[in-house]
Amino acid sequence: MATVTLKGNPVHTVGELPKIGSVLGDLKVTKGDLSDVSLSSFAGKTMILNIFPSIDTGVCSQSVRRFNQEATSVPGAIVVCVSMDLPFALNRFCGAEGIKNAVTASVFRHPEFGQKLGMRIIDGGMAGLLARSIVVLDADGKVKYTQLVPEIAQEPDYAAALNAAR
């Protein structure tokens, strides 16, 4: 179990982020067209998982915008923005914002995603959502970098994630 804060109040996650060098396995997410896809379908690419509680909060939406802008700076990488939001909300946001360089994915059908990665929040007002975190996978699916953002209301370390993906 890890502890993060939400506006200074402690909240806990179900576990710890995966260790560097570990392999996540074949986790599934739901795309905007409601089809399910395995993370293994992105094999051969470096993957930046931008994981957050909800697209309808300022910091979460900013992280999607920022990674969308920065995604092209890492050749051969893909940014997958993951939350419990319904695909409809993610599509609405991406359409309004012109998000084209990042893939959005929902885990509303796949709660094992947050469980396996250790970032499902288990208490407080956001219980059941995903804690703000970054996981970078190499082209073989091995974990290269992780960050569990200590304060949910703060943005992740974009530079560190992008550097790990290079």
Q: Catalytic positions, please?
A: 60
**Cβ pair 56, 85 in contact under 8 A:** yes
Residues 6+ apart with CB under 8 A from 157: 134, 147
Q: CA 120 to CA 79: how far, in whole Å?
A: 20
**Cβ pair 100, 19 in contact under 8 A:** no
Where would I find the H helices in 7-142? 58-70, 87-97, 112-117
Q: CA 91 to CA 99: how far, in whole Å?
A: 9
